[in-house]
Amino acid sequence: MEFYCIPEFEVEFNSLRLKNNYSNLPDLLFDEFNSIDISGLKSGTNLIPGKGIYYIKRRIAGSSGYRVYYVIDEKNNKAYFGFIHPKTGPEGIANIGHKFKTANFKSIFAAIKNGDLKKVTFKGNHFIIE
Amino acid sequence: MTVSEKIESVANQVKQASFHEKTRGVAELDIDSFLDRILTFQKYLADKTIKVDQISSMFENLTWIEGDLTENDLRLINEVISAGKDLRTSLIKRYIKINTNSLRSIASKEINLFKASIDNLTETYRDVEDVFFNLPNDNELNEAIDQFKLI
């Protein structure tokens, strides 16, 4: 399974991990996605069911943890992280609306099309954007 | 189970939870009688939190139902969402009633988790509303999906 992220995800991830409230984020993402397979990725809220594409919203670290949005490319065994936000703390967001969900999907599509992606790897118990 | 039966099953369970919250739930929460029974109160809240989380999972599972949805299925999903909103209203009233200094002094963690489960319920039924009613009618999204399939 190969993981990538779009620039918006990288900006949000780097901003959050440097804050005390969210310094556990790289470890949590490692635990959640390291060694996961396609079927494991198909968990959470299936945002566009019946379309042959999986755009998923996934809960990390319980109700008051984080929410991660990603698209699965089942054919090529790849997944693309599009957005992440904490539920609580100073940067906490209750939810994102459907317009933002659409905008995020479009950003993921544009990044794939333009090759504007960063590789995500899992090393030393950390989630790393290369 | 057919798609309609699956949705109907969720609808019935959410409606039942909402009805329970409005009726028997009030009798269960006799604050004066269990102020001296801390563990009972903590367990009561923990159990309620688990039940709310289970309802949220049911909402989430609706998004994984395979097969084409009929207009009747969508009507049922709309009923589930309405029942979820109704349940949330009752739960918020409950939360306001228990979110007191005296009860926080004995079950702060349980009260916070209960509130988080209500917030999660709100989030999941709003997501279900997006998935079945808002996003399918979003032309920008549909165009992006069609283009995505060509990659």
Q: Which residue ranges make up each domain of chain A?
A: 2-129
Is the pLDDT reported for residue B41 higher than 90?
no
Is residue B128 within 8 Å of B81, Cβ to Cβ?
yes
d(Cα A26, Cα A129) in Å, to the nearest integer?
10
Residues in A closer than 8 angstroms to B137, CB to CB, are none
| pLDDT given at position A63 | 84
Locate the chain B residue with the closest alpha carbon to A106. B144
Chain A residues at the B interface, defined by Cβ less than 8 Å, are: 42, 44-53, 57, 59, 62-64, 71, 87, 94-95, 97-99, 101-102, 105-106, 109, 112-113
| pLDDT given at position B25 | 58
pLDDT band at B31 (very low <50, low <70, confident <90, very high): low
| pLDDT given at position B18 | 87
Q: List per-residue pLDDT tens for chain A, 130 residues long.
A: 999 999 999 999 999 999 999 999 999 999 999 999 999 999 999 999 998 899 999 999 988 899 999 999 998 999 999 999 999 999 999 999 999 999 999 999 999 999 999 999 998 888 999 9
Tally of CB atoms within 10 A around B100: 11
Is residue B32 within 8 Å of B98, Cβ to Cβ?
no
| pLDDT given at position B3 | 85
| pLDDT given at position A58 | 97
For testing the chain A interface, which of B51, B111, B130 should be mutated: the one with the most A CBs within 10 Å? B130
Distance from CA of A36 to the nearest CA of B (A): 19
Give residue A48's Cα distance to chain centre: 16
d(Cα B15, Cα B9) in Å, to the nearest integer?
10
| pLDDT given at position B59 | 97
Q: What is the mean pLDDT of chain B?
A: 90
Work out how many domains chain B is built from and give that number. 1
Handedness of CA A62, A68, A69, A75 (dihedral sign): negative
- The amino acid that residue A52 corresponds to is G
Domain limits for position B37: 3-148
Largest CA distance in chain A: 40
Least Cα distance to A73 among A24, A121, A113 occurs for A113
Q: Which two tokens stand for residue B6?
A: 């699956």
Is the pLDDT reported for residue B97 higher than 80?
yes
| pLDDT given at position B36 | 59
| pLDDT given at position B30 | 58
d(Cα B13, Cα B105) in Å, to the nearest integer?
33
